[in-house]
Amino acid sequence: MTVAFIHASRAAIEPVANYYTAHAADLDCVHLLDDGIMRFLAAQDYVRSENRFQAMVATARDTYGAALIMLTCSAVQKETMDALRVGAGIPLFKIDEPMAQLAVACGKRVGVLATFPATLATTRGLLEEAEPGIAVVHEMEEDALKALLAGDRARHDELFLAAARRLAKREVEAVVMAQVSMARLQAEVEAIVGVPVFNSLETSLAAVRAGLKPRAA
């Protein structure tokens, strides 16, 4: 069964591909990338970003025969996701949606670690939709993503873990790692913050499995 992953960042492909190869080898995974979409999201040009996502959804479904589509970009707005779901005709979701549901069950104060500014509003929205009234605090480290995209993983990790140490001082009850590119650092973040830490890779697979189950007539 084919699952299509739609990426808006080069940094997302490797962790997603590696995780699903290791944990879901039975799935036929296809990866589609348009990293120019990040420019539209950063500029809040949601019309052009949605148009590009719509085109990629059509390619995943019609060209590759995907039975389910996952967007790995956490910065996609709820309104865009709603529009994509209407037109997809097959199960479609965003990789961090299951993560938000689990995180809010841990308490009323959730921390967010992010390296792409456009991600903050969407991640906050997911958490607040899952649990109205929840307090969301964040630490942003833009230079970490810049380092990762430039190929300097060590510098990314140094800056990102420094942000985690800052967040640890803010008395949160759980932490979400807002982008899939940081998922490999979960153990290090857990050791720093001392509360449950969620990454979107691990929480996404159960949602994929559920989405692929045949629907009752």
Query: The domain that contains 31 carries what CATH number?
Result: 3.40.50.1860
Distances (CA, A) of 13 to 19, 57, 116, 149, 181: 10, 17, 16, 12, 8
Its domain, for residue 29, covers: 2-95+202-212
Give the C-alpha separation, 199 to 89, whole Å: 28
Same domain, yes or no: 196 and 206 = no
For the entire predicted model, the pTM comes to 0.86
Q: For residue 66, give the nearest of 26, 20, 19, 31 by alpha carbon.
A: 31
Strands 2-7 and 68-71: parallel
What backbone torsions phi and psi does residue 67 show, to the nearest 5 degrees? Answer: -90, -15
Distances (CA, A) of 213 to 30, 63, 207, 209: 19, 22, 10, 7
Strands (E), the chain: 2-7, 28-33, 68-71, 92-94, 109-114, 135-140, 174-177, 197-199
Same domain, yes or no: 77 and 126 = no
pLDDT tens string 161-189? 999 999 999 999 999 999 988 999 999 99
Same domain, yes or no: 188 and 102 = yes
Confidence of residue 214 (pLDDT cuts 50, 70, 90): confident
What does the pLDDT read at residue 215? 58
Q: Domain total for the chain?
A: 2
Same domain, yes or no: 89 and 106 = no
Q: Residue for token digits 């990338």?
A: 33
Q: Is the pLDDT at 104 greater than 90, yes or no?
A: yes
Q: Is the pLDDT at 204 greater than 80, yes or no?
A: yes
Same domain, yes or no: 71 and 101 = no
In a domain, 75, yes or no: yes
